[in-house]
């Protein structure tokens, strides 16, 4: 992979760490080009992230005027999107619900805010 992408193995290993926060779009584009795949970067509500990770069916609506008009975590939480045994998309009503363990708690998916100690180590 190092030769294919042109990035040292040590740097590639850092990029595989979900807590490494310094990856750039340029690096992602380089990796996508080397692997001959498309790169999609998008903003999604946390409920959709949970659906994707858990395998829960959902409707992909594509980009449009509301692309950046997304509910934040607190708003979705207040709407009950993360409650046990709920289906977040009305179009999934009547379909098999995912196991409750997939939707029980979503707080761990919320991005961690930088602290003063993070700034000192950057």
Q: Phi, psi (5° rounding) for residue 97?
A: -80, 150
- Per-residue pLDDT at 22 exceeds 70: yes
Which DSSP category does 63 fall into? Answer: S
Beta strand segments in the chain, E: none
Asked if the structure places residue 40 within a domain, the reply is no
Residues 48-70: tens digit of each pLDDT: 889 888 988 888 877 777 777 88
d(CA 21, CA 44): 19
Asked if the structure places residue 75 within a domain, the reply is yes
pTM over 0.85: no
Asked if the structure places residue 66 within a domain, the reply is yes
Q: CA torsion angle for 50, 52, 55, 58 (degrees, to 10)?
A: 100
Residues 24-36: tens digit of each pLDDT: 899 899 989 998 9
Asked if the structure places residue 93 within a domain, the reply is yes
d(CA 103, CA 56): 10
Residue-range definition of the domain harbouring residue 55: 46-106
What's the domain count of the chain? 2
- Per-residue pLDDT at 37 exceeds 90: yes
Mean pLDDT, residues 84-93? 50
């Amino acid at each position: 992979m190092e030769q294919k992408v042109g990035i040292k193995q040590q740097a590639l290993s850092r990029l595989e760490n979900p807590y490494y926060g310094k990856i750039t779009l340029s690096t992602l584009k380089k990796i996508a080009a080397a692997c001959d795949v498309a790169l999609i970067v998008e903003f999604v509500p946390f409920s959709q992230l949970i659906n994707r990770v858990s395998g829960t069916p959902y409707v992909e609506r594509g980009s449009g005027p509301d692309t950046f008009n997304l509910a934040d975590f607190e708003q979705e939480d207040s709407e009950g999107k993360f409650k046990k045994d709920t289906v977040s998309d009305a179009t999934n009503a009547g379909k098999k619900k995912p196991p409750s363990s997939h939707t029980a708690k979503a707080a761990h998916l919320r991005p961690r805010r930088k602290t003063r100690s993070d700034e000192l180590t950057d």
